[in-house]
Amino acid sequence: MLVLVAPGQGAQTPGFLTPWLDLPGAADRVAAWSDAIGLDLAHYGTQADADAIRDTAVAQPLLVAAGILSAAALGTVAAGAVAGHSVGEITAASFAGILDDTAALALVRKRGLAMADAAAVTETGMSALLGGDPEVSVAHLAKLGLTPANVNGAGQIVAAGTLAQLAALAEDKPEGVRKVVALKVAGAFHTHHMAPAVDVLAKAAAELTPADPEITYVSNKDGQAVATGAEVLDRLVGQVANPVRWDLCMETFKELGVTALLEVCPGGTLTGLAKRALPGVRTLALKTPDDLDAARELIAEHADA
C-alpha cells in the first residue's frame, strides 16, 4: 500500500519552486492561485530569499501550492492513505478530495496570516531534539516551560516556546539528546501561543463545504483515520494550538499495511523519519521534476499492494 504525505513548515528553501514552473500549465495554475489568495506564489517560490519565505504567512501557502502542484504532475496517484505534517494536512485534504485546490489555498492563506499574527505577540520559536528517550525529553521540556509541539517518532521531538526558553534548552539538553537544532520557523506553532489563531481559522473553516475523504485520511491529532470532511476541518482548526503526533500517524501507516511512502515537494523531512521508523518501507521524496519518473515507478509497484 502506498501512502502519500505532505511536509510542513521549515521544508521550504529559496528557489525550490523554480523547476516545477517549467512543467506544462504549471505557471498558469500558480498564477491563478496567486490571484485568488492575494500572494505572488511564483515570486516567493523562485526569487525570494530564506528570510522572506520563513515568514509564516508566506511559507504556508507556498508549501501547500508546491505539494498540490507536484502531486498533479504525477497524474493519477492511487494512494491507500494520505497525511500531512502540520500545514501539510491541508495539502493532504486536497489529495483526499475534501477541499478543492482553491479552497485549500484560501484556507492556508488565512491560517498563515492568523498564525503569523499570533506569533508576533511574543518572540517564540521551535527546536528539534535529536536522539534521547521521548519520556525523558518530554519531562525535561516541561521543567523548562516548553511544549513538545511535534512528536515525530524516530527519536525526534520538536520543542516550542519562547526564545529564552529555547536558549535554556540549548544550554541544558535532556539526557541522551545528541543535538538541539533551531528550526526555520517564525513561532511556537502547535502550542498555547497559537490560541488566537484558532478562532480566526474556525471562522474561515465555517465558510467551506468539505466533502468526505475519498481515500483514508490520517490525522495529526492522534494518528487516527477520519471519516468525514467536517471532522477533518474541525481537527485542522484545533491542531494549530495542539501538538502534532506524527509518530502516531506512522503507527497507523504500519497498521494499514504500508509498503511505500511518497512525499510531495519539497520532500525530504518525512521520508527521513520514515526510513528510521518504518524499516522495510520504500520511500521517495519529490524534490524536483527529475524525481517524477522514479515516483511513477514507485506508484506502479505499490499502489495496489
Find the catalytic residue in 34, 70, 86, 94: 86
CA distance 155 to 146: 18
Q: Do 299 and 73 touch, CB atoms closer than 8 A?
A: no
* 133-138-142 Cα angle (round to 5): 150
Mark whether 43 is an active-site residue.
no
Question: What is the H or E stretch that residue 39 is in?
Answer: none
179 grid coordinates: 543535538
Mark whether 137 is an active-site residue.
no
CA 189 vs CA 55, 136, 233: distances in Å: 13, 22, 18
pLDDT digits (tens, 9 = 90+) for 243-283: 999 999 999 999 999 999 999 999 999 999 999 999 999 99
Place 303 in a pLDDT band, splitting at 50, 70 and 90. Answer: confident
44 grid coordinates: 516567493
β-pairing, 124-131 vs 177-182, is antiparallel
Domains and CATH numbers, the chain: 2-119+191-302 (3.40.366.10), 124-182 (3.30.70.250)
In this prediction, residue 70 carries a pLDDT of 98
Mean pLDDT of 144-156: 92
pLDDT digits (tens, 9 = 90+) for 80-104: 999 999 999 999 999 999 999 999 9
Find the catalytic residue in 85, 190, 193, 302: 190
Residue 173 has pLDDT above 70, yes or no: yes
Closest listed residue to residue 57, CA positions, set 4, 94, 108: 108
Beta carbons within 8 Å of 82's beta carbon, 6+ residues apart: 3, 4, 5, 6, 92, 95, 96, 215, 216, 217, 218
Residue 227 has pLDDT above 70, yes or no: yes
93 grid coordinates: 485534504
3-state secondary structure of 132: coil
CA 73 vs CA 5, 30, 295: distances in Å: 15, 13, 10
Q: Which backbone phi and psi does 152 adopt, to 5 degrees?
A: -95, -10
Mean pLDDT of the chain, nearest integer: 95
CA distance 166 to 129: 11
CA distance 251 to 178: 24
CA distance 275 to 150: 18
CA distance 143 to 79: 42
CA distance 285 to 263: 5
CA distance 256 to 247: 14
Residue 235 has pLDDT above 80, yes or no: yes
Percent pLDDT > 90 in the chain is 93
Place 52 in a pLDDT band, splitting at 50, 70 and 90. Answer: very high
CA distance 213 to 229: 6
In this prediction, residue 304 carries a pLDDT of 60
CA distance 303 to 305: 6
For 132: left if phi > 0, alpha if psi spans -120 to 50, otherwise beta; the answer is left
